[in-house]
């Protein structure tokens, strides 16, 4: 609607109808933040910059760096190819447990994709076989270390009970035995921490055993794929675009039908008022 027409309408004694306002007013410019998945930095970005000073990964890293792990190192036979650092492997598993990640395949996935895990591992990516073998070989030692980190973390108020404690007292309908206990219950649970950790590590064993039955010697499907079929991807995109467009048209038709219905109602109401 042009400015003169709009002014004429304002000066007129006739009723102004909503439909008289055209939708041709200029739309405000839409501004989006710059988005570039292939953005390059002038200088290499340090992963450390992405991990906050209070992140739990930093606590795990500091504790395990200062621990005497000779009893773990002594379990290595030596010879052959080089092994991943036991400190790095311990950090990865402990951080996973705190984040309630118990599957060796999911730990491996996080080491590839999750910044906190990438940082704590020094950007190293042991596969699920290596992670699981380390867990099985040092299961009791990992549990002892995890227990001490949990106890002192709770005592210092750095770790919350809801992050690590598990409630096995209620049978859920969905068989989820691992409901998180809230902080107010932590004081009553610390005396049972050994029993809780025993249950937790049995659960971790079961998860990894079940995974082996499902995947066998293979990794997660995403790791087994060699990319995607471009033709199939394009076919999916076309179908999605068509579906979205059809839904938009349907919504537009509904809006038009509603306008006509409202106009008819208004007309009938006006006739009643006149009569």
Query: Can you give the pLDDT at residue 132?
Result: 94
User: pLDDT for 4-24, tens place per residue?
Assistant: 555 555 555 555 555 555 555
Query: Can you give the pLDDT at residue 60?
Result: 92
User: pLDDT for 67-93, tens place per residue?
Assistant: 999 999 988 888 888 899 999 999 999
Q: How far apart are CA 11 and CA 236, in angstroms?
A: 55
For the chain, give the percent of residues with pLDDT over 70: 69
Give the pTM. 0.67
Is the pLDDT score of 66 beyond 90?
yes
State the average pLDDT over residues 160-178.
47
State the average pLDDT over residues 50-74.
91
Query: Can you give the pLDDT at residue 42?
Result: 67
For the chain, give the percent of residues with pLDDT over 90: 29
Hey, is 179 helix, strand or coil?
strand
The residue to which tokens 């079940």 are assigned: 210
User: pLDDT for 222-243, tens place per residue?
Assistant: 777 777 888 888 888 888 888 8
CA distances from residue 151 to 161, 217, 265 in whole angstroms, order as listed: 10, 36, 71
- 1-5, 93-97, 112-116, 216-220: lowest mean pLDDT where? 1-5
Mean pLDDT rounded to a whole number for the chain = 78
Question: Is 107 within 8 Å of 101 (Cβ atoms)?
Answer: yes
Is the pLDDT score of 176 beyond 50?
no
What the block records as the tokens of 91 is 């950090």
- 12-26, 52-66, 91-105: lowest mean pLDDT where? 12-26
> What sign does the dihedral 249-255-258-264 (CA atoms) show?
negative
Query: Can you give the pLDDT at residue 24?
Result: 58
pLDDT, greater one: 264 or 149: 149
Is the pLDDT score of 188 beyond 60?
no
Query: Can you give the pLDDT at residue 35?
Result: 72
- 47-61, 202-216, 224-238: lowest mean pLDDT where? 224-238
- CB-count burial class (<10 Å; 0-12, 13-18, 19+) for 39: exposed
Q: How far apart are CA 64 and CA 88, in angstroms?
A: 9
Query: Can you give the pLDDT at residue 261?
Result: 63
Query: Can you give the pLDDT at residue 172?
Result: 37
């Amino acid at each position: 609607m042009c400015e003169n027409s709009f002014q004429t309408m304002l000066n007129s004694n006739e009723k102004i109808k909503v439909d008289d306002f055209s939708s041709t007013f200029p739309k405000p410019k839409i501004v989006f933040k710059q988005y570039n998945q292939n953005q390059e930095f002038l200088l290499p970005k340090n992963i450390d910059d992405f991990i906050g000073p209070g992140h739990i990964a930093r606590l795990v890293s500091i504790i395990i760096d200062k621990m005497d792990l000779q009893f773990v190192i002594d379990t290595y036979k030596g010879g052959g190819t080089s092994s991943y650092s036991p400190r790095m492997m311990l950090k990865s598993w402990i951080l996973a447990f705190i984040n309630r990640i118990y599957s060796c395949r999911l730990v491996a996935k996080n080491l590839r994709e999750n910044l906190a895990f990438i940082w704590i591992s020094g950007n190293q990516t042991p596969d699920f076989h290596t992670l699981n073998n380390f867990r099985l070989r040092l299961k009791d030692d990992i549990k002892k270390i995890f227990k001490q980190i949990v106890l002192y973390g709770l005592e210092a108020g750095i770790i919350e009970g809801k992050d690590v404690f598990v409630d096995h007292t209620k049978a859920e309908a969905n068989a989820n035995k691992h409901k998180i206990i809230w902080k107010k219950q932590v004081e009553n649970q610390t005396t049972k921490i050994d029993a809780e950790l025993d249950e937790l590590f049995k659960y971790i064993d079961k998860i990894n055993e079940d995974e082996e039955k499902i995947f066998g010697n293979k990794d997660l499907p995403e790791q087994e794929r060699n990319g995607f079929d471009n033709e199939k991807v394009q076919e999916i995109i076309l179908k999605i675009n068509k579906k979205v467009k059809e839904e938009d048209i349907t919504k537009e038709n509904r809006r038009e039908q509603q306008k006509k219905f409202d106009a008819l109602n208004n007309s009938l109401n006006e006739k009643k008022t006149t009569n």
